[in-house]
Amino acid sequence: MKNSKQDATRKVADAKKTFLSGENFYAHHFLGAHRMEEGYVFRVWAPNALAVSLVGDFNDWQDTLPMEKDEVSGVWQITTKDAKEGDLYKFKVRQADGRELLKIDPFAIRFEKRPGNAAKLYQFPEKKWRDGLWRGRTKRSNPFKRPINIYEIHTSSWKHHEDGSPYSLADLTEELIPYLVEKKYTHVEFMPLMEHPLDRSWGYQLIGYFALSSYYGTPAQFQDFVEACHLNNIGVFVDWVPGHYCINEDTLPYYDGTPQFEYTDPDRAKNNRWGSINFDLGKPQVQSFLISSAMFWIEMFHIDGIRVDAVSSMIYRDYDDGPWTPNHEGGNRNFEGYYFLQKLNAVIKLAHPEVLMIAEESSSETPVTGLIENGSLGFDFKWNMGWMNDVLRFYEMDPIYRKDHFNLLTFSFMYMMQENFILPLSHDEVVHGKKSLMHKMWGDRYKQFAQLRNLYTYLMVHPGKKLLFMGSEWGQFLEWKFDEGLEWGDLNDPLNHAMQMFTTRLNDFYKNQPALWEMEDSYDTIEIIDADNTEESVLSFIRKGKRKKDFLIVILNMTPIERRDFSIGVPYPGTYQEVWNTEMQEFGGTWTRHNEVCQSQSTKFKEYSQVITTTVPALGAIILKPETINTRKR
């Protein structure tokens, strides 16, 4: 017994030491509340507090349980037998200036339901996971050479019950997972699931970095959801926000009355753009806190990837609105954020190399993906915000002007291999007056659907992984509303229903065409046929797989004029069959049958010696595949 107590004491001392040095990536194992043989032990880091007490249901919220401080680590501790599972609690902190505040537990794994924010004593039930086959397969596969097609979801606004209440995680397990399977997605990505006090923030201003929002359900329910996804061959990504946090003073800000989690410089601490507080990413204890949070979500919930929000705000001092101070070199680099992200990715990839780290980053000045040794941040993938902005500007444009702005469509070919990209058509583009993707499209309703089919086809055939926000799959016309369910009634309309079927078939087409993903980490994956046909506004290129005969010819028509007898060069003599046409009647178009099989002709077209001639529908896209070709002759 004596030795076991000594071991426990030694482990706590080691945990405190590594927490202070920024090397404790399991800080949640000793900070927060933990059930022990002698009762519950509570620990909180508040180095400059004058006093800290534990208050909760177990002592009628009275100041009767003062905590003891370890002067070296700044960690306060108390053990009590009175607390039991389900009790609510907070810490009463007498701050450095003598002011007393009730503060949340930063390491709480459960909170009461809003509007309250007291931590709740919760014991994770023992789970026997059944997703070993999925996890083993994921560890053995190369993510850069497999299809990744992500359905982005805001948990509480995907679908509502008849009484207006949002679906819970249990409901989503029953309905969302079959929907993902049916619609042929490979992954689902959740906007932040962590505890947050304000729905209007969409979860991006957190208070609980270790707690699933009680609004969505229990941690056990989310474990079951992830397991069910894996059993159905669906991967799960979660958004995470290590850059800034909620400004509410009873949560993390100025926890002990001094800059604790935040920068000492008030200009760097305050995030003016989002009305929040920035983490001091250079502080070792903050690094321990944040990396422990990431490890918690990966290990407790078996998630397959973390999408790190707002990376630009973490690596540039001048990203925010308001005053900023140059670094010691006189530049705008936030070295603390830069090195923290490298450290985060190094730690995660060492412990869990199969987990994908994804950056939402909007600049091009800093290498984001690739090896840290080469100066990058070490992420696996980066959202291609440039592609998204350029392409949406192009599709919103009256086609009469598109010939003068064709570079918006093609510029991404110049840099598409500089990073490992995900092409996002995300929630940010369908809110705040930006209009839905359907509403952005030019022309009347029929033309809008035609262009939406064209856009989604371009998304699938352009190198890069794919992401589409919920509701966009059927062309919801109204903007997304965070406090309402999607407009599922749209599917009673034949055009919306056909659009949903189109997206499903397109997703399936993508999964079953290796030319669209097995070599997309190399320029060898693409060959431009003609990106200079600005007058007709038609773009054509080839996507290639590993085998010589495995390639697709893509032709996109960006005008409302049907291009008959349209000719392009092809690499080999032979026949080519149309395998995709966005204007088929079943998709909401007018075509009842595909183009005839094309026989190539010996004619010069740019550097090609073979040409095929076909018809490209107005505002449409077609894809052809070689049927019988001679690959020895080019």
**Residue 496 — left, alpha, or beta (φ > 0 → left; ψ -120 to 50 → alpha)?**
alpha
Name the burial class of residue 182, with classes exposed (0-12), middle (13-18) and buried (19+) by CB atoms within 10 angstroms of its CB: exposed
CA–centroid distance for 229 within its chain: 17
419 part of the active site = no
Give first-to-last CA distance, the chain, whole Å.
Answer: 80
For residue 552, count other CB atoms closer than 10 A to its CB.
Answer: 22
Instruction: Check the CA dihedral 518-519-520-525 and report its sign.
Output: negative
Catalytic residue among 336, 360, 361, 490: 360
Residue 2 burial class via C-beta count within 10 angstroms: exposed 0-12, middle 13-18, buried 19 and up: exposed
- Catalytic residue check, 321: no
The Cα–Cα gap between 485 and 167 comes to: 9
Distance from C-alpha of 407 to C-alpha of 388, rounded to nearest angstrom: 13
Closest CA to 542 of 616, 610, 451, 463: 463
Question: Rounded distance, CA 334 to CA 336, Å?
Answer: 6
- H helical segments located in 403-485: 407-410, 437-440, 445-461
Q: What are phi and psi of 217, to 5 degrees?
A: 140, -160
If one counts every other C-beta atom within 10 angstroms of the C-beta of residue 373, the result is 8
Q: For residue 55, list its beta bridge partners.
A: 90
**Element (DSSP H or E) covering residue 565:** strand 563-570
**Which listed residue (256, 309, 419, 490) is catalytic?**
309
Residues carrying an active site annotation: 309, 360
